[in-house]
Structure 1
Amino acid sequence: MSEPQKSFFQTFTGVITAITSLIIAVTGLYAATGGFNFNNGPKPAAKLVGNLSEQDHQKQLQALKRQKELDDLRINQEKQKLLAEQELAALRAKNNQADTFAETINGNNYTQHNITSNINGRWNYSNQVGTYVFVFEQNGNEVFLQEYDSYGNNVGNGSGVVQGTNVLLNWVEPYLFVMSLQIEAELTIGSQGNVLNGYMYAEGNTLPITLFRQ
């Protein structure tokens, strides 16, 4: 009768082979599972956290951009405000100058040309020949004059005009009974209103002249 056939795993060689196969299988499983760590798969949560960080970064950039725009707008507004204040200050200074000028005029520290001085009346003029009297009759800014010598004789007639404190006269004096002498005068009335001082022009000659109100 024949001996029963032994299983492969019952032989020593079969046992060694089985152990080796088991080790190889375990090693492969260890490598495949990352050291038997079955939780090492893809982590969506981590990836999501990364996406959220990028979004936060974009939000921060947008916030900084908006803040810069607001700062630029605020700076422009401040510049415009400063320019407006400067223009207003310049306008106030100009108005103050105008007010001061008006006050000076109202205070009689400045004489306008359209303010007519009054020279109406009798005025004395003396020279080497004698004393003469000019009688002015003023109507507005127009003046009519008559000249008298020391004996009361009428020795001249003319007219003139008053412009502010300036008086322009033009009159005629008879000369040697055969001709007349044309005389012009440019005078200025004094601050007290009692002196007319200036120059008269006759036959190409210029002479100083001063008249005193009687």
Structure 2
Amino acid sequence: MQAATRPCVPLDTPARAELCEHGPDDPRRAEVEAYIRRVYAQRFGARVERFAPRLLGLRSTVDGRLLGAAGYRLADQPLYLERYLDAPVDQLLGEHGPLRPPRAEIAEIGHLCAARPGDGLLLIPAVAAHLHAVGVRWAACTLTEELRRLFLRLGLAPVALGPADPARLLPEERAAWGDYYSHHPVVIAGRLQPAVERLQAAAAARSGRPA
């Protein structure tokens, strides 16, 4: 599946922000890459050297500054997180449900980061809604302990596929991640539609609007 692309989309929340997608040739992509590098360096002492083909930037519509970022890659090509798994991600998802999803409907989310926790609570629902809107049906990502707690706060409980064991990487790759692995990352995955519906219902309840 070739995912559709979307222009900047305003968030359907009181927050004055929008989510923008940046492809390989987008001139604003460099700013998003720099933001991801900075947050990962500050948080983990990590050096981010490669980026997903498509990046997402959460921006304030007041002053244009970045509030958070993420990236995604479709599973019609090998996924980085599959290095940690004993089988392909689609096979493992099939073992946890009635059907094995087509790889073309799966995306890996990476680089998920926000400088402030409150912005992370905006970023995660925005990324989920964006991916669902462009045709992705399943999402997989590697989450630290802190991000898993954030997912639980949002009412999300995806399937855990296995720990992200640094021993599965080359030594030079492990060195680039700083102390990231001391935050106990786990590979998780889940269907996007129920997650998006749950997040939208929770947002509507907080605002007093009908879901």
| Interval containing the TM-score (normalised by the shorter chain) | under 0.3
Flag the structure with higher strand content: 1
- Structure number with greater Rg is 1
TM, length-normalised to structure 1:
0.24
TM, length-normalised to structure 2:
0.24
